[in-house]
Structure 1
Amino acid sequence: MPNDITDFFNWCDQVDVAVFAARRVHLDRYVTALAQRRPRTGRPAVASAVARKLTALGSKLAYLSRALKTPTIGRVWEDLAAQARDLNWSHEEYLTAVLERQVAERESAGTTMRIRTAHFPQVKTLEEFNLEHLPSLRRDVVAHPATATFVAKAENVILLGPPGLGKTHLAVGLGIKAAQAGYLASPASGPRRRTAGPG
Structure 2
Amino acid sequence: MFALRTASLVAATLSTGLIAGVFYAYATSVMGALGRADDRTFVDVMQKINVVIINPWFMIGFMGTVGFTVLAAALHLGKDSRTTLIWIGVALLLNIIAFGVTSGLNVPLNNQLANAGDVGQIGDLAAVRSQFESSWVAWNVVRAVIHTLAFLVLMGALFVAGMQHAKASPAAAAPIQTYRQVAPQPGFGAPQQPGFHYLAQPGFPSARQ
**TM-score, scaled relative to structure 1:** 0.25
TM-score with structure 2 setting the length: 0.24
Higher percent of residues as helix: 2
